[in-house]
Amino acid sequence: MEIKVYGPGCRNCEKLKENVINALAELDVAANVEKVEDMSEIAKAGILSTPGLEINGEVKVKGQVPKVAKIKELIKAEL
């Protein structure tokens, strides 16, 4: 599973990455988690407000920090 967290390094972006890691741990799922901070890459992904979350090539979240439970739902849907 490939997961990308988009954001320039703001507090919300870091919180989203932390929530993703916690969700993966709770589900006992292995994934490659990448933090994308380059603004041109963020824009290419179609994310106009950060943070953003992409799972397996599909952007799932833009401009918000979902709770761990919501991230777990998104991950389960991709398994």
Section 54-63 average pLDDT: 97
pLDDT tops 90 at residue 61: yes
Task: Give the range of the structural domain holding residue 50, as residue numbers without chain letter.
Answer: 2-78
CA distances from 50 to 18, 21, 66 (A): 15, 18, 12
10-43 residue pLDDT tens? 999 999 999 999 999 999 999 999 999 999 999 9
Q: Give the confidence band of 76 by pLDDT, cuts at 50, 70, 90.
A: very high
- Dist. CA 38–CA 28, nearest whole Å: 29
Count of structural domains, the chain: 1
pTM above 0.75, yes or no: yes
pLDDT tops 90 at residue 9: no
- Dist. CA 67–CA 76, nearest whole Å: 14
CATH of the domain at 27: 3.40.30.10
Q: What's the pLDDT at 7?
A: 95
